[in-house]
Amino acid sequence: MSLGPVMLDIAGTQLTEEDKKRLLHPLTGGIILFSRNYSNHRQLTELTHEIHALRNPHLLIAVDHEGGRVQRFQKDFTKLPAMRELGKIWDKQPTRARHLAKQVGYVLAAELNACGVDFSFTPVLDIDHGQSCVIGDRAFHHNPNVISELAHNLMLGLKKGGMLAVGKHFPGHGYIQADSHLQISIDQRRYTDIEMNDLVPFQQMINYGLPGIMPAHVIYPKVDQHPAGFSNIWLQKILRTELQFEGCIFSDDLSMQGAADYLESIVMRAQAALHAGCDMILICNNLKGVDEVLNKLYWEMSATSLSRLARMHARDNFESMTKLRENGDYIRAVREISIIGCETGDLPLQ
């Protein structure tokens, strides 16, 4: 059974029969995990193995695991810094910041990979304009070129850990104060202003081979009346054609208020996002909406989308967290990133 376009979630730490039924649906292609799905690394590994065993090719398993205030798994996992901490180090020691970004990416990916997770929705490529209530310290920096440098090195670390990167939130969520999780969000800037600033990290990361992108549920009315994740102009004309992005496009959560205020019906949102150019759509914390989409959505996956999704499977699995903790590169990386944000963070590398 080939992968479908829907990524959904589950309620607990184990699969129920209802979960299995949804995961076996032809329209399902992946699952996103949250803190409620995690108790320890052994439980997580058992859960991911059970999910992967359901289908061939196996369902994609994703998580929002950026570091800082967005890290779904805490116990047994290394505490990862907010990306802004790497930006602070850059301002004093750019070479060291690059190295630490790579080490953070490696630890992030290796730990998730060892537990059977395919990828994290990271890095955040939004610019810290100093006014967003939802981005804030999730952004590396206020300088788009610094963001590109640090995100590139984080992506290299992710790759070393067997995992691909997904940049977000295209074309940039950092300028406005509104939180698209909670309300409709509008950015009134002209395209030229966005192109000269917020698009820079996305363009540079695409040039570096970025495999995945997640668009924002933000409306940029001077470009298009539709939110970016539902916009053919943003996803096809700008992202695919002008920026020449060939990777996978994942919608942001279609249950977010920024999407719900745009189109009331979850099925209409799913259709709109897919028609605009998303390869996979996310529906989170809304099992009623998931069932409605699985029952009513009609969508034929293209060979191109299937190829893009297949690429997102993790590689070079570390077998187990126990084995990983015996790995010398991993031990050194954990030691180095453990002091990020501490006074000793300004010490040169040994």
- The per-residue pLDDT for range 198-234, each reduced to its tens digit, is 999 999 999 999 999 999 989 999 999 999 999 999 9
Confidence category of residue 177, pLDDT binned at 50, 70, 90: low
Percent of the chain with pLDDT over 70: 93
Report the largest interatomic distance among the alpha carbons of the chain, rounded to a whole angstrom.
Answer: 58
181 has catalytic annotation? yes
Q: What is the mean pLDDT of residues 157-183?
A: 83
Point out the catalytic residue in the list 9, 128, 137, 252. Answer: 252
Q: How far is the C-alpha of 224 from the C-alpha of 312, rounded, in Å?
A: 30
What's the confidence (pLDDT) of residue 344? 39
Tokens 């939802």 locate to: 134
**How do 6-8 and 70-71 pair as beta strands?**
unpaired
Confidence category of residue 133, pLDDT binned at 50, 70, 90: low
- What angle do the packed helices 199-207 and 144-160 form, to 10 degrees? 40
Is 346 a residue whose pLDDT tops 60? no
252 has catalytic annotation? yes
Mean pLDDT of the chain: 92
What one-character-per-residue DSSP string does 263-330 give?
A: -S-HHHHHHHHHHHT-SEEE--S-HHHHHHHHHH---PPPHHHHHHHHTTS--S--S-HHHHTT-HHH
Is 349 a residue whose pLDDT tops 60? no
Point out the catalytic residue in the list 181, 261, 291, 329. Answer: 181
- pLDDT top residue among 34 and 180: 34
What's the confidence (pLDDT) of residue 288? 93
Write out pLDDT tens, residues 39-84.
Answer: 999 999 999 999 999 999 999 999 999 999 999 999 999 999 999 9
Model-level pTM? Answer: 0.94
Is 274 a residue whose pLDDT tops 60? yes
Q: What is the mean pLDDT of residues 120-137?
A: 87
Write out pLDDT tens, residues 8-17.
Answer: 999 999 999 9
What's the confidence (pLDDT) of residue 261? 63
Instruction: Answer yes or no: are the C-beta atoms of 170 and 239 closer than 8 Å.
Output: yes
What's the confidence (pLDDT) of residue 259? 66
